[in-house]
């Protein structure tokens, strides 16, 4: 375990107003799938990461053919921007059942190469009726993981991510503004899966929180807890012998951590893929008594069940 010296909040930030508040990655699922395949090579969790790559490729395919769906009107978006409200809140947005079509496509895509065990899960999902799938979706999106079928959850989450990513990217970054609650996504009000320090362009050196559902990235100053906004008691941990591209940012004030990815150490780093490939860091944090402050919906962990 190594700790690293920290910079102070605001030390490297450009003046307020010049910071692009929202960053929307292009081709997010295609790039994530490529990253997962890259990370799988020689990894102890190779088979798992390759399966996640396939699931992410299925997301990319489903997003490519995603149908037009109702979106908030220009007036609604303006109102939300003025009042700091996320217009596509996972809690209140009237979810279009078309996301279930994406789920069917994703299941068909991954079924071909699934193991016997996974095939059972997929067949069970195929047999669930629409109402049961909506209940499952609500439980995932509202963090009610207790008693959840954790084997089936990644597939349902994958389809929901496609639906919300479609809506967020169709509306575009300019449709959204800062949220009243800075640790939740300004688009869909979900918690972040991890954060990333970007390189290049106006985002260079800035830290963004990465939404666990719609893939939007939103700015938050560095060396600040993304959960309770404390600037005291923040520490960084990395696995010994790694490049340090992925660290855990821990907070003594609220006892949580979230991973932070550094593009300057590895430009291909991905908020979801690199999170899945660094489970050793989660185990280390668990031993330190820290809980994750945001979920990875492909791998909802037992520690989050207790939160």
Catalog residues that contact Zn ion under the rule CB under 5 A. Answer: 185, 187-188, 190, 211, 213-214, 216, 225, 227-228, 230, 251, 253-254
DSSP characters over 39-81: HHTT-TTHHHHHHHHHHHHHHHHHHHTPPP-----HHHHHHHH
**36: closest CA among 306, 200, 277?**
277
Q: How far is the CB of 42 from Zn ion (least distance, A)?
A: 33
Q: What is the DSSP letter of 222?
A: S
Joined tokens for residue 116 = 């016997």
Whose Cβ is closer to Zn ion: residue 56's or residue 226's? 226
Joined tokens for residue 246 = 């992925």
Q: How far is the CB of 163 from Zn ion (least distance, A)?
A: 11
Whose Cβ is closer to Zn ion: residue 83's or residue 130's? 83
Tokens 């791998």 belong to which residue? Answer: 299
Alpha carbon distance 191, 103 (integer Å): 22
Whose Cβ is closer to Zn ion: residue 28's or residue 197's? 28
Q: How far is the CB of 118 from Zn ion (least distance, A)?
A: 27
Tokens 């979810």 belong to which residue? Answer: 95
Q: How far is the CB of 252 from Zn ion (least distance, A)?
A: 8
Alpha carbon distance 12, 79 (integer Å): 32
Q: What is the DSSP letter of 290?
A: P
Whose Cβ is closer to Zn ion: residue 54's or residue 59's? 59
Alpha carbon distance 261, 196 (integer Å): 4
Whose Cβ is closer to Zn ion: residue 93's or residue 155's? 93
Q: How far is the CB of 124 from Zn ion (least distance, A)?
A: 28
Query: What does the chain come to in residues?
Result: 307
Q: How far is the CB of 256 from Zn ion (least distance, A)?
A: 6
Whose Cβ is closer to Zn ion: residue 140's or residue 213's? 213
């Amino acid at each position: 375990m190594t700790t690293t010296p920290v910079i102070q909040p605001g030390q490297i930030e450009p003046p307020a107003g010049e910071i692009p508040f929202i960053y929307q990655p292009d081709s997010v699922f295609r790039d994530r799938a490529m990253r997962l395949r890259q990370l799988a090579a020689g990894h102890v969790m190779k088979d798992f990461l390759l399966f996640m790559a396939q699931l992410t490729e299925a997301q990319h395919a489903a997003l490519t053919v995603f149908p037009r769906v109702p979106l908030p009107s220009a007036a609604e978006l303006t109102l939300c921007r003025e009042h700091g409200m996320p217009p596509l809140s996972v809690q209140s947005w009237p979810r279009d059942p078309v996301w279930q079509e994406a789920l069917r496509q994703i299941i068909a895509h991954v079924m071909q190469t699934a193991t016997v065990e996974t095939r059972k899960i997929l067949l069970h999902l195929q047999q669930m009726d629409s109402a049961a799938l909506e209940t499952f979706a609500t439980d995932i999106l509202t963090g009610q993981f207790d008693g959840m079928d954790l084997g089936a959850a990644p597939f349902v989450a994958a389809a929901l991510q496609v639906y919300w990513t479609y809506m967020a990217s169709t509306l575009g970054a300019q449709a959204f503004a800062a949220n009243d609650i800075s640790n939740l996504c300004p688009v869909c009000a979900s918690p972040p899966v991890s954060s990333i320090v970007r390189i290049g362009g106006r985002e260079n050196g800035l830290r963004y929180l990465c939404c666990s559902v719609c893939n939007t990235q939103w700015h938050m100053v560095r060396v600040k807890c993304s959960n309770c906004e404390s600037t005291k008691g923040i520490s960084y941990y990395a696995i010994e012998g790694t490049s340090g591209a992925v660290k855990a940012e821990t907070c003594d004030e609220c006892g949580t951590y979230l991973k932070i990815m550094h593009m300057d150490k590895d430009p291909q780093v991905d908020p979801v893929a690199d999170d899945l490939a660094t489970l050793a860091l989660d185990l280390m944090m668990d031993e330190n008594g820290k809980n994750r402050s945001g979920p990875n919906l492909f791998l909802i962990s037992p520690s989050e069940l207790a939160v």
